[in-house]
Amino acid sequence: MPSVKLPPVTTMGKLTSFKPALTLSHAVVSWCNGIAAPRTPVQSCLSDRPLSVRMERLVWQPEPLAPSMLDCVWGVGDEMIVLSVPCSLAEALISTVQSGLTLPSEPSRSLVLELALEPVIARLEAETQQSLQLLRVDKATMLGPYLEFDIMYGPFRGKGRLVLFSPLDGPVPHAFRVFGQLLSQVPRQTRKLSPELPVIMAAEIGSLRTSATLLRKACAGDALLPDVIPFARDQVVLSVGRLWAAADLAGDRLILRGPFRPHPRPLEYAHMTTQPESQQPRSEADLDDIEITLVFECGRWPLALGALRSVGEGHVFELGRPVDGPVDILANGQRIGRGDIVRIGDELGIRLRGRLAGND
């Protein structure tokens, strides 16, 4: 991407250049995006206790360190990485070497922890073809940015931090590239949305694909003839985002006929009682030939995502208004006018109550 030269910023009469707080190279951005996705926990067993580690988040603005955190400095080949863990986790690991053993001082602390983690270290060395060595364990001082992990080991529950490398505006160190490759093998996890999340359901009586030229000519009293109008069969289409389902009319209630499914392909033809001009020069029709899909709605209402998931065939929705009342006319989700349902010969149409929005 070409660089852009920013003008200097004036501060108290002096010219200063803008300097971002954080600068990332393209390689670092690509690496971060590859590891930041939520993933399933990595499950293992260490000294007959279950071990679970799950990547939680990538933290750019460091948060205060807990006073009981330790910085574990690891040598990975010719590079170093820092993993911050709670003291309680270190104590739980050391207890697997000798019951009742308390957390010693350095250098014994790192030696005993490395011994406790020997099965995990051996597996990582085999998978990465890199030598791993715990160099030292100190009181935590590294603030980040960092990767945060959820760690469960036996009764222990807590957080761990893998401090990112520095600087971040250059290449990704080999040890972190290898870590990214290992993490990419862990299946991604789709986060569940809250069942209370509101969605909008719309009751559509028909739709029409037409050109901007015809809409520009529409006036109050003109009638639009939808391409598809299930209302003529005493049905409506219930639409939620990109999903839809058919429903039968029962007074001011709607009875669901089947499950919601993806929208069908767009309609290909449109009709309108307002007739276009026979011909207009191409120079005046540059944008008037744009095709626009109009949707005619007889109502819309909020619905919790959890409630939507629980509905099935035969579910009854309360429309809360007469189904043959004023109809909203929408283009690309925005209301541009209103109309009334009328019969034109053997067909049903929508008579405009006024000019359409943007129709000057």
Confidence of residue 1 (pLDDT cuts 50, 70, 90): very low
Q: Taking 90 as the threshold, does the pLDDT of residue 346 lie above it?
A: no
CATH class of 22-184: alpha beta
Q: How far, in Å, are 85, 114, 266 from residue 153 at the CA level?
A: 12, 16, 54
Please tell me the predicted confidence (pLDDT) of residue 176: 92
Number of neighbours of residue 204 by Cβ within 10 angstroms: 24
Confidence of residue 8 (pLDDT cuts 50, 70, 90): low
Write the DSSP assignment of 220-288 as a string of letters: TT-EEE-SB-GGGGTEEEEEETTEEEEEEEETTEEEE-S--EE--PPP---EESSPPPS---GGG-TTT
Residue 182 to residue 259: CA distance in whole angstroms: 40
Please tell me the predicted confidence (pLDDT) of residue 345: 84
Please tell me the predicted confidence (pLDDT) of residue 272: 39
Please tell me the predicted confidence (pLDDT) of residue 19: 64
Provide the residue ranges of all domains of the chain, joining segments of one domain with +. Answer: 22-184, 198-276+287-352
pLDDT in tens, 34-55: 887 778 899 989 888 999 999 8
CATH number of 198-276+287-352: 2.30.330.10
> What phi and psi, each to the nearest 5 degrees, are found at residue 108?
-65, -35
The predicted model scores a pTM of 0.56
> What phi and psi, each to the nearest 5 degrees, are found at residue 86?
-70, 150
Please tell me the predicted confidence (pLDDT) of residue 360: 52
Window from 3-17, 118-132, 140-154, 292-306 with minimum mean pLDDT: 3-17
Residue 223 to residue 273: CA distance in whole angstroms: 6
pLDDT in tens, 166-217: 888 899 999 999 998 888 888 887 767 788 889 999 999 988 988 888 888 8
Q: Which conformational region is residue 58 in: left (phi greater than 0), alpha (psi within -120 to 50 degrees), or beta?
A: beta
Confidence of residue 268 (pLDDT cuts 50, 70, 90): very low
Please tell me the predicted confidence (pLDDT) of residue 321: 81
pLDDT cut 90: percent of the chain above it: 27
Confidence of residue 285 (pLDDT cuts 50, 70, 90): low
Q: How far, in Å, are 261, 298, 310 from residue 314 at the CA level?
A: 16, 20, 12
Q: Taking 70 as the threshold, does the pLDDT of residue 71 lie above it?
A: yes
Of residues 91 and 6, more confidently modeled: 91
CA dihedral 96, 101, 102, 108 (to 10 degrees): -80
Confidence of residue 2 (pLDDT cuts 50, 70, 90): very low
Please tell me the predicted confidence (pLDDT) of residue 192: 76
